[in-house]
Amino acid sequence: MTDKNRVVIFDTTLRDGEQSPGATMSHEEKLEIAQMLDEMGVDIIEAGFPIASEGDFAAVSEIAKQSRNAVICGLARAQLPDIDRCWEAVRHARRPRIHTFIGTSPLHRAIPNLDMDQMAERIEQTVTHARNLCDNVQWSPMDATRTEHDYLCRVVEIAIKAGATTINIPDTVGYTAPRESADLIRMLLERVPGADDVIFATHCHNDLGMATANSLAAVEAGARQIECTINGLGERAGNTALEEVVMALKVRHDIMPFTTGIDTTKIIGISRRVAQVSGFPVQFNKAIVGKNAFLHESGIHQDGVLKNVETFEIMRPADIGLNETNIAMGKHSGRAALRAKLSDLGYDVGDNQLKDIFVRFKALADRKKEVYDEDIVALVQDASANTGDDFLQVKHLRVVCGSDGQSADLTMIVDGTEQTVHATGDGPVDACFNAVKQIFPHSATLKLYQVHAVTEGTDAQATVSVRMEEEGRIVNGQASDTDTILASVKAYVGALNHLIVRRTRAGRDGKEISMYSH
């Protein structure tokens, strides 16, 4: 790097982000997200963990072949077969990278039962092997923030001498605080021979809600690569969110004079798409991309914004790709208006998808007085989540509820065959779910059932999220409708369709590898 003020953005949505329980993406969805990341200017895309499964290997390989600008990176444990498999996947990229890691803290050294010297030898061997394959090698000491400082300096020096070009310092469990994050980077830069010849990176988890602050503190101390994910998706409480660090660097350029190559106007589009394909909706008060990020309800705030928007807004919606012009949408709106509105909302849809969304839009407009932007976003998500190609499809639902009892008459198409059942339950939703179980028996348990109104009013669409688990496989389903019960059934059936895909994938790939990563 020649520009010391340039911060490299390393996106790991397709690797660490997909490790969120239930966030598994299809092959096509991974390729789509990778293309969006490439187009928005992400410097490095960590496309996956190639040895984890045949599906992951295929996705990383295809992303490597299709990428135009970004470095394409694959993850590998400190094992030679992992590194070889990773290289086979990324070698087709214009700019490939191998990322290998091992846990260096006392807790993590105990897992493979290696003493300090044995681990040091493993690091030298595996980094050397990776560098012999690829001239762009990243190395990570997993759980670095809980590793003894003297030992951390020792192994970082070994990795640099073995050929690592990027040294990533992960806060694997989200334990550190901003001052500690900065001090750790400064210490390594001062104490480790050869530190000036490599790029130091920071990878922060959000268990204590400080991931973004820790990442920015590390940059101020000398780190020049931030590892992050779209919407902060990732293990447990997630990772540093790409949108947060990028906009923080842009807004506070006065105190953090660093630049990135990110096109911020593409942020809202990719945020919504990742939320859609992962099944993890963005919380309303999420920084930058949440529904309420640019809304004002307080009278004082509203008055101030009307007089001068800068009184209560430090950035404009247009900065992240939200179009400030409004197209009134209703039952008389045509396809051209709908396409324009979708474009304003960050969605670039093909003709076939537009046709499907338009049919749903017209049906919704006939039922609602006003169709809001949030309604249209929900339509897009519902159109992608429930397709005519699904193994299970809801055809007809009739529910009876009241003080005399609850029952459901459900008709579904199962692999092309129509089936109808009658079921009862403790409430209308329970009756409907019991009906689905009669048609498609399964052992999955319901872990989450959540309903929220997309907009205000009694005619508002409801978006229902469902999470289910079967034999360690966690899947999500999401659906929207003005009928909350119907949305619940669609979400439940959607989760089952995802489960069927996971079952098929597990059968094809064999036993899924245990991914023990930072």
Tokens 């949030």 sit on residue: 374
Taking only the tens place, the pLDDT of each residue in 41-86 is 999 999 999 999 999 999 999 999 999 999 999 999 999 999 999 9
How does pLDDT run across 294-321, given as a tens digit for each residue?
Answer: 877 676 876 787 788 888 889 998 999 8
Percent of the chain beyond pLDDT 90?
65
* Global confidence as pTM: 0.80
Q: Are the beta carbons of 97 and 137 closer than 8 angstroms?
A: yes
How many of the other CB atoms lie within 10 Å of CB of 86?
29
Q: How many CA atoms lie within 13 A of 245 on its CB side?
A: 38
| Cβ-proximal residues to 511 (8 Å cutoff; 6+ apart), any chain | none
pLDDT tens, residue by residue, 442-474 = 999 999 998 988 776 777 888 898 989 998 888
pLDDT, residue 513, reads 46
Q: Going by DSSP bridges, is the β-strand pair 407-414/417-424 parallel, antiparallel, or unpaired?
A: antiparallel
Q: What is the pLDDT of residue 108?
A: 95
pLDDT of 153 over the 80 cut: yes
pLDDT band at residue 515, thresholds of 50, 70 and 90?
A: very low
Residue 54, by phi and psi: left (phi above 0), alpha (psi -120 to 50) or beta?
A: alpha
Q: Tens digits of per-residue pLDDT, 6-48? A: 999 999 999 999 988 888 888 999 999 999 999 999 999 999 9
Lowest-pLDDT choice from 14-23, 211-220, 366-375, 436-445: 366-375
Q: What is the average per-residue pLDDT within 197-209? A: 97
The rounded mean pLDDT for the chain is 90
Q: How far is CA 311 from CA 250, 296, 308, 318, in A?
A: 18, 12, 6, 17
What are the φ and ψ backbone dihedral angles of 173, each rounded to 5 degrees?
A: -110, 15
Q: Which range among 63-67, 139-143, 337-341 shows the weakest confidence by mean pLDDT?
A: 337-341
